[in-house]
């Protein structure tokens, strides 16, 4: 069973952003699946490293997509939203760095953090721009 299941409640009514959110959820689910098997196995750890890198890269890509929409349409909450993006990217990169140096294992606590942050970000912060961007014709 998936760690995070997409729900229409998470939709921001912008097709590309919803697709990207679903993809982020899929990456977290893949990482969760790998960790829940045998995280001590060297091959498995290598797979986890690859998925972690994909999560970091795709998160950056997704945030740049949102930020381009904000700039294009002069979204008034751009600075605050970008700061939230920056904070998450720093947290993910720090977790990734520590994982690569074997300073931390990927635990359920980390997955709970990722789930909480992503879903809260979508349901609170991202929902704030929905009406604004929809009014600008972005769907």
pLDDT single digits (tens) 103-122:
988 888 889 999 999 999 99
pLDDT single digits (tens) 3-12:
999 999 999 9
pTM above 0.85, yes or no: yes
What is the homologous superfamily of the domain 14-133 according to CATH?
Answer: Hemerythrin-like (1.20.120.50)
pLDDT single digits (tens) 19-59:
999 999 999 999 999 988 865 576 688 899 999 999 999 99
Determine contact, residues 36/19, Cβ cutoff 8 Å: no
Neighbours of 89 (CB within 10 A): 14
pLDDT single digits (tens) 96-105:
999 899 898 8
pLDDT single digits (tens) 56-105:
999 999 999 999 999 999 999 999 999 999 999 999 999 999 989 989 88
């Amino acid at each position: 069973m998936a760690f995070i299941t997409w729900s229409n409640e998470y939709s921001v009514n912008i097709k590309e952003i919803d697709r990207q959110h679903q993809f982020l959820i899929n990456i977290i689910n893949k990482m969760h699946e790998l960790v829940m098997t045998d995280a001590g196995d060297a091959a498995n750890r290598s797979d986890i490293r690859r998925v972690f890198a994909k999560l970091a890269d795709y998160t950056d890509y997704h945030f740049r997509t949102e930020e381009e929409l904000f700039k294009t349409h002069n979204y008034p909450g751009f600075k605050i939203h970008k700061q939230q993006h920056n904070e998450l990217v720093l947290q993910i990169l720090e977790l990734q760095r520590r994982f690569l140096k074997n300073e931390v294992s990927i635990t359920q606590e980390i997955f709970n953090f990722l789930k909480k942050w992503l879903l809260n970000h979508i349901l609170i912060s991202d929902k704030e721009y929905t009406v604004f961007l929809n009014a600008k014709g972005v769907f």
